[in-house]
Amino acid sequence: MKTAQLAVLCFTCLLGILPVTAIASHYSISADGREVTDQRTGLIWRRCAEGMVFSGGTCTGTASKFTHEEALQQAATQASNTGIAWRLPNIKELLSIADKKSSSIRRKAFPATPVGLFWSATPGAGNSPGTWRAAFYNGNATTRHQDNIYHVRLVRTSQ
């Protein structure tokens, strides 16, 4: 990028016309900071794991853990309470928010994400009984029995 173009881009960011987060990645943060939109997929994510709240520029509180059935119910409850079609992501969607370089989650977009496993809505098949889940501490996805308890991050499609 030429020096003049870079200067204009930086000046535009300083004026608040273009958010800095748009430059740093393909994610854009909502005005209230509670949602993240992935510009590549069109998916809108809750910024915090269920049980946590966005406050003071980060996610605070303790992330809840759920069995798979409870995770599905949590998504349904949140959809009903908010009037927004929140749901569990499929495994491909869940892994799309992983930082491939660090085998972690993208921390700028999803601050204070707990170290642990997150449920997906994707059932296992064949020799993989249970349901798929993702580990953001190592980037792996495996299946587990649905009675295990893991974290939840909800997603929705853009309207």
Domains in the chain: ranges and CATH: 47-157 (3.10.100)
| Residue 144 binned pLDDT confidence (cut-offs 50, 70, 90) | confident
Task: Please give the share of the chain, as a percent, with pLDDT higher than 90.
Answer: 60
75 CB burial (10 A radius; 0-12, 13-18, 19+): buried
pLDDT of residue 50: 98
Give 125's Cβ-side CA count (13 Å radius): 2
Summarised one tens digit per residue, pLDDT across range 21-56 is: 443 478 999 999 999 999 999 999 999 999 999 999
Residue 138 token pair? 């190592």
